[in-house]
Structures are given as C-alpha cells and as structure tokens.
Copies of this chain bind each other. A is one copy, B any other.
Amino acid sequence: MSPKRAVTLQDVADHAGVSRGAASFALTGRNGVSEATRERVRASAEALGYRPNLSARNLRAARTGVIAVYLPAVAPTLSYYAEATFGIVNEAMAAGLVVTLVPSPAPGTILPRLRADGLIAIDPAPGDPALEQLLSAGMPVVSGEEMPAEYRRVRGEVRSDHTAATLRLLDHFHANGAKAPAVISPEGSLGWAEEVTTAYRAWCAEHGIKERVEVVRLDSLPESTVAATETLLGARDPADAILALTEGSVLNVLTSATEYGRSAGNDLLVAAAVDSPALQFTEPTITAIDLNPREFGRACMRIMLDVLEDRASTSEVVRHNVPIEINFRDSTRGKRV
C-alpha cells in the first residue's frame, strides 16, 4: 500500500549516527563495535522497522537463500509429505530461508537446473533419475530416511525406528488374539516400506508364524489393492490381522471385511503403517503408526541449517532419530468378550 521505499541499512546508520559498516556489524552481532553503539543501532533499526534485504545479503554471500525440497511423486496424495513439508517450512522461515518444492518431473522430462543452497530429499528412491540430476548439482544434501547407497554421500540423515514400531504393533496384534498377521506393501523402493516388511518377516520367523506379504503395484494401485485383500482374506487359511502400508490399502481392507464375512476390529485386526487424518473417521477408527512427520521435517531442516552454517561435521554424516509412536484405535481392539 504505502509506496514509500523500504528502509535500508543506510537509513538505520544515519538514524543512529554511525557508518553503514558499523551498523552492519552491530546488527549481525559481530565484534568490533562497542556495546553502547550496538544498542543504539538496534534501537534505530527497531524504530525504523528495518528488515535486511535478503537479495543483497545473498548476492554478497554468494548464496541463494533457497532450500530445495524433493519429494516422491506420490507426495501430493499423502498427508505425510504435506506435514513434513510444513515442518521444513516452519524451521526455514525462522532462519530467513525460503523453501522451494521441486516437482517430480513427468518421466522423460528434464528438471530445470535449480539454484539452491541445499537439498532436502525425503524418501529418496534408488534409480530416480531426477534425484540423480539434483544431487549432481553439488549442493549439500540432507536426506529424510536413508539415502540409497549408490548416491554420493549426504551431509545429514534423519530417520525413525520403523523396525521397533512395527514389532510393537505386531506384538499388539498378537496380544489381541491375532494368529495370522499379514502385510500389504507397495512394490518397489521406498526404504521405509522395506524396513517395515523386513521387520515383519523377522517377527514371523521368531514366532514361527507363516509370512503373508502382499505387494501392490503402483501403476494400478486400486486394482492390485483389491486383489491383495482378496488373496489375504479369501484364502482357505486367511489372515486375521493386516498391517497395511498405505492409506488406500487399509481403507480397502476395512471396507471389504464384511464381504469376506469378517468384522474389522473384532475378528479381523487392521492397522496402518502411517497415520493420516482420515483414519480417525472410519467405523471402526483405525490404529496407525504416527510417524510424526512435522517433527521429521523440522529435524531435516535443522540439520541443513547446521550444515550451511558450518556447525556440522564435514567428515561424517550427521544423524538424527525422530521418535515415532502408535496411535491405538478401535480397529485392533480384538474380540469383545
């Protein structure tokens, strides 16, 4: 509205009666300026409503002020990624950085080279050409979940203990009467899904229980999900508890249960490996692992900030663990007595 030009560092310096350099030193907290002067400059800045021009600052520092975030192609469909992104944005804003989402390019398309000071890649998948291109830009990288070994080393890695959570959930199934738990997992390369499935297999081995893993195809999700449910529930020896990795597959199991003469939450336990808001609205409500995506995103950005400010080790990968929990709901309550 007000067409008056923005207040500049020079304005602040003039107002405080010092040179521009001194004002800069005072405001950025560098040594070389008396405490009294610093206070005076701060007061002037405050009074004038000074806000540093980031373009100028970035130009000077040979930075862009931008952090790129790369999400899997399925991102828009999963509230998990939206939450994680908001976590990243939150933390970035506080540091005066801007976050740019890198859209997964349509297959065959090439990404425009992007200017950024760092890249946060969530759930990086092996063999993703766009990811490869991004990594080759040479900026520091923090990954959410494990970066596939084939790629160059990352500076930071944020993870969660999916194995422990999975085992706990399977124990919960077991305690509530399940003898034949199963897993429905998307095919391919999400490290997270693989970790859950591997934990499941280990649990089965330890308990001497037959493995039931159904894999759904990403290119025909609805159909293959229906088929997976049928295989698990229509078998002569059907599953009596299902851990579904995606929202689609839990919902399919839950809403198909009666077709197979089962009652979800009662003689068929159902849980999701990742929570989402919808799971509180079904009847019965659905037990799910709460991946704490907001905090996960924040953690990624915090490590990125450490890296950018040279507070992070350059020789080894900074690792951080985000705790996850289980939201127990009615779908795993088991037979009523």
Contact = CB atoms under 8 A, between A and B. Distances in A.
A141 to B, nearest CB: 11
A248 B113 CA distance: 39
B93 A138 contact: no
A278 B247 contact: yes
Contact of A255 (B55, B114, B138, B283): B283
Contact of A59 (B55, B86, B225, B259): B55
A90 B111 CA distance: 11
A293 to B, nearest CB: 8
A66 interface: yes
Interface in A48-89: 51, 53-56, 58-59, 63-66, 75-79, 81-83, 85-86, 89
Contacts of A281: 221-222, 225, 247-249, 251-252
Nearest to A223: B280
Contacts of A65: 55
Interface residues of A, number: 61
Given A66-B98, A225-B281, A255 B258 contact: no
A103 B112 contact: no
Nearest to A65: B55
A31 interface: no
B86 A76 contact: yes
| Interface of chain A, main secondary structure | helix
A249 B79 CA distance: 17
A15 B103 CA distance: 34
Interface string A86-121: 100110011000111101000000001111000000
A82 B282 CA distance: 22
A276 B94 CA distance: 32
Contacts of A83: 76
A292 interface: no
A84 to B, nearest CB: 9
Nearest to A84: B76
A258 B98 CA distance: 49
Contact of A89 (B101, B277, B285): B101
B100 A51 contact: no
B64 A282 contact: no
9 contacts: A1-B136, A54-B64, A76-B82, A76-B85, A85-B101, A100-B100, A226-B283, A248-B280, A258-B258
Nearest first, the 9 A-B pairs at minimum CB distance are: A248-B281, A1-B138, A76-B82, A55-B59, A55-B58, A77-B277, A255-B283, A256-B283, A255-B282
